[in-house]
């Protein structure tokens, strides 16, 4: 009997692993990210396969930094593709590393290397929150015809302003709506959103609307990325960042709290602050799964 050929693939080994819920201090209310804390030896195909298997909006893989100013390097994958940057995975990865004792104790600033470059994260230990400085947004307005097509795909009767294509690594088509109830009532056509995202070379569509007076949060958001196998992102850091960039372009620059996820059974809160040229996007994180992954 012929012997089976030896596999060139190294046998799987246990790797520290956490699943972190981001933008919440209550487990199972925010946006989960899977974090592989030691990804050395995994190639791109293996990382993509693991990300498809976790089936979360993002999975991250921590590697030693190759930039002297960074504390670590991270690669970020959706079930379908690698991203150069994403908000909630960056916050969740920093939380996981801090909790595991893999970053300097007492660090107030963490520097993450990712596809877009170095991202700074600020750690507030008293408030038990982490915030990131959004990569510099690049924005351009879409014409009225494109806005009308996006409104139709969302199932919205009308938009409340101009749609902007805003690039912070992920690229969102940001559409303002009349109010939070309109945001929550959308029944989007995911195939149409995927086609529009592809046509504009965008990650997806983020919508927002002002909340009623007296609410803790000022805005309600939803983010749709079916082109990346994420029909609706529960609570999206980069989506919130692009809304903040939209508001800043409109001259509305006061700090605020946003709410996202209620349309799909979550309830995340995102803090947004303006600090000079920086847009800071942050919130609480909580670990829901702690163990190891064999890969």
**Tens digit of each residue's pLDDT (9 = 90 or more) over 153-202:** 999 999 999 999 999 999 999 999 999 999 999 999 999 999 999 999 99
Residue 8 lies in a domain: no
Please tell me which residue, 283 or 252, carries the higher pLDDT value.
283
Token pair in block for residue 277: 């040229």
The Cα–Cα gap between 206 and 183 comes to 10
Whether 3 has a pLDDT exceeding 60, the answer reads no
The per-residue pLDDT for 9 is: 60
pTM of the model: 0.92
Give me the residue label for tokens 């079930």. 79
Whether 53 has a pLDDT exceeding 60, the answer reads yes
The percentage of the chain sitting over the pLDDT mark of 70, rounded to a whole number, equals 97
Please, what is the angle between helix 190-199 and helix 144-154, to 10°?
Answer: 150
pLDDT per residue as tens digits for the range 61-107? 999 999 999 999 999 999 999 999 999 999 999 999 999 999 988 88
Whether 5 has a pLDDT exceeding 60, the answer reads no
Give residue 219's domain range. Answer: 138-276
- Domain shared by 142 and 271, yes or no: yes
- Domain shared by 229 and 163, yes or no: yes
Confidence tier at 1 by pLDDT (50, 70, 90) = low
Q: Write the CB contacts of 279 (distance below 8 Å, at least 6 apart in sequence).
A: 133, 134, 137, 241, 244, 245, 248, 272, 273
Q: What is the DSSP string of 2-59?
A: PPPPPPSSPPP-EEEEEEEEES-SSTTSSEEEEEES--TT--HHHHHHHHHHH-SS-E
Average pLDDT of the chain is 95
Residue 121: closest CA among 249, 225, 22: 22
- Domain shared by 189 and 130, yes or no: no
Confidence tier at 7 by pLDDT (50, 70, 90) = very low
Of 6, 40, 58, 152, the catalytic one is 58
Structurally, the chain folds into a number of domains equal to 2
The per-residue pLDDT for 187 is: 97
- Domain shared by 67 and 94, yes or no: yes
Residue 220: closest CA among 202, 204, 240: 240
- Domain shared by 232 and 269, yes or no: yes
Residue 1 lies in a domain: no
Residue 236 lies in a domain: yes
Residue 248 lies in a domain: yes
Residue 245 lies in a domain: yes
- Domain shared by 113 and 168, yes or no: no
Residue 263 lies in a domain: yes
Confidence tier at 203 by pLDDT (50, 70, 90) = very high
For the domain that residue 289 is a member of, what is the CATH number?
3.10.310.10
Residue 2 lies in a domain: no
- Domain shared by 114 and 183, yes or no: no
- Domain shared by 145 and 103, yes or no: no
Decide if 69 is catalytic.
no
b/e for 24-59, b at 16 or more Cβ within 10 A?
Answer: beeeebbbbbbbbbbbeebeeebbbebbeebebbbb
- Domain shared by 183 and 203, yes or no: yes
- Domain shared by 172 and 248, yes or no: yes
Residue 178 lies in a domain: yes
Mean pLDDT of 113-126: 95
């Amino acid at each position: 009997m012929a012997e089976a050929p030896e596999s060139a693939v190294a046998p799987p080994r246990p790797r520290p692993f956490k699943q972190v819920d981001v933008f919440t201090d209550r487990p199972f209310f925010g946006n989960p990210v899977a974090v592989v804390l030691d990804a050395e030896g995994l190639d791109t195909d293996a990382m993509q396969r693991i990300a498809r298997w976790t089936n979360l909006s993002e999975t991250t893989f921590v590697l030693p930094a190759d930039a002297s100013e960074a504390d670590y390097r991270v690669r970020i994958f959706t079930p379908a593709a690698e991203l150069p940057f994403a908000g909630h995975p960056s916050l969740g990865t920093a939380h996981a590393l801090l909790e595991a004792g893999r970053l300097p104790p007492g660090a107030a600033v963490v520097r993450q290397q990712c596809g877009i470059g170095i991202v700074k994260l600020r750690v507030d230990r008293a408030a038990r929150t982490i915030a990131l400085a959004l990569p510099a947004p690049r924005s351009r307005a879409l014409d009225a015809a494109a806005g009308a097509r996006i409104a139709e795909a969302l199932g919205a009767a009308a938009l409340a302003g101009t749609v902007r294509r805003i690039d912070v690594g992920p690229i969102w088509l940001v559409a303002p709506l009349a109010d939070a109830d309109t945001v929550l009532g959308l029944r989007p056509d995911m195939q149409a959103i995927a086609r529009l995202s592809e046509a504009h070379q965008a990650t997806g569509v983020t919508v927002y609307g002002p909340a009623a007076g007296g609410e803790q949060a000022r805005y309600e958001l939803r983010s749709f990325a079916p082109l990346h196998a994420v029909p609706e992102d529960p609570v999206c850091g980069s989506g919130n960042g692009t809304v903040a960039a939209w508001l800043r372009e409109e001259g509305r620059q006061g700090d605020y709290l946003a709410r996202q996820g209620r349309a799909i059974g979550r309830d995340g809160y995102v803090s947004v602050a303006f600090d000079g040229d920086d847009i800071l996007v942050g919130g609480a994180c909580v670990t829901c799964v702690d163990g190891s992954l064999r890969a």
